[in-house]
Amino acid sequence: MPENPAKILYVDDDPALGRLVQKVLGRRGRDIVHVTDADAGYRRLEDGDIDVLVLDHYLGDRTGLAMLEQVSARPDAPPIVYVTGSTEASVAVAALKAGASDYVLKTVGEDFLELLNSAVEQAIQTSRLHKAREQAERELRAAKERAELALAEVNHRVANSLALVAALVRMQASAVSDPAAKDALAETQGRISAIAGIHKRLYTTDDVRFVEIDAYLSNLASDIQASMSLDGAVADIKLRAEPLRLPTDKAVSVGVIVNELVTNAAKYAYRDRTVGEIRVLASRTGPAQIEIIVEDDGIGWNGEGHIQGTGIGTRVIAATATGLGATLAYDTVARGTRARLQLDIEIH
């Protein structure tokens, strides 16, 4: 189907010139609507479907600049070609500043009509490109919103599935009588919950690329404390963390390591007491470096010698830290244990 001819509103108080423009540009496939004053021009613009406004500078006892400014301020304004018989450059400059897309110098002869037709064609093409770009941007925004909703739903379902798996593991742990098996299942449940916590945060955030590590560690500490309470142990976990955003994949690894360190401290640091404090500290130590410390005041361990339990947690920590490109060291302290995780990464 051929496109409808472009509709041009020509505002000029010269009826003869208006008829000439209608005749000549009509032959070029233009639909010219001619009015002789600004008020008629405003009324015709309100009807819509105008592709280009051609506006003459002299309109009886006024100039077209006032109409130009008013029309160009509208959100749905068509492109405006300003026509002037004045050779003063200040008129053209004022028109362009007021919002005209082009201007044409009115002369006697066919040159004016050729220039006007060329300016109208350029305005039409520019307007079409602008509308196509706006449409593409709208479609891109809509696609982005759909993708974000889909990704949030995926993270929601993953978090729910992992929470279900963790609950099943806990149920299995409560059904076995062997202490070693019970502990192993409880540790597995904690690891699953640590990863599930990341996905839970992802479906409640506006940017799934990053995780607010301070909020995540706060929830993780609460989950570990609640889990320990169910097992009859009491852990007093204190968190002090600066507001930090980490890439999601890095945050998962950090969560696994912190979960292992805090769980080990809760299980082994205070064997001779009913309760003890475990502190988790997260801070920025450089432009692209963070440091996470897990410390306690218990029996103490420097990372060497006999390992309590099966040693799986220690191997998980070492493997995860290596994959993360982080360093884990145990400080020499007067009392208790202090594990220091240092990570070089772009911080947001």
The class of domain 210-348 in CATH terms is: alpha beta
- Higher-pLDDT residue of 31 and 86 is 31
In the chain, which segments carry CATH 3.30.565.10? Answer: 210-348
pLDDT in tens, 49-67: 899 999 999 888 788 898 9
| Average pLDDT of the residues in 35-41 | 91
pLDDT tens column, 231-278: 555 668 888 999 888 888 888 888 888 888 888 887 777 766 656 788
More confidently predicted of 2 and 190: 190
CATH superfamily of 6-106: Response regulator (3.40.50.2300)
Query: What is the pTM (predicted TM-score) of this model?
Result: 0.55
Q: Could you tell me where in the chain the CATH 3.40.50.2300 domains are found? A: 6-106
pLDDT given for residue 1 in this prediction: 38
Digit-coded pLDDT (tens) for 54-103: 999 988 878 889 899 999 888 888 999 999 887 778 888 999 899 898 98
Residue 79's pLDDT is what?
92
- 80 to 39, 86, 267: CA distances (angstroms): 16, 18, 76
Note the pLDDT of residue 201.
65
pLDDT digits (tens, 9 = 90+) for 146-169: 877 777 777 677 777 777 887 887
Q: Are 68 and 25 in contact (CB under 8 A)?
A: no
User: pLDDT value at position 282?
Assistant: 92
The radius of gyration of the chain from alpha carbons, rounded to an integer in Å, stands at 36
Mean pLDDT of the chain: 83
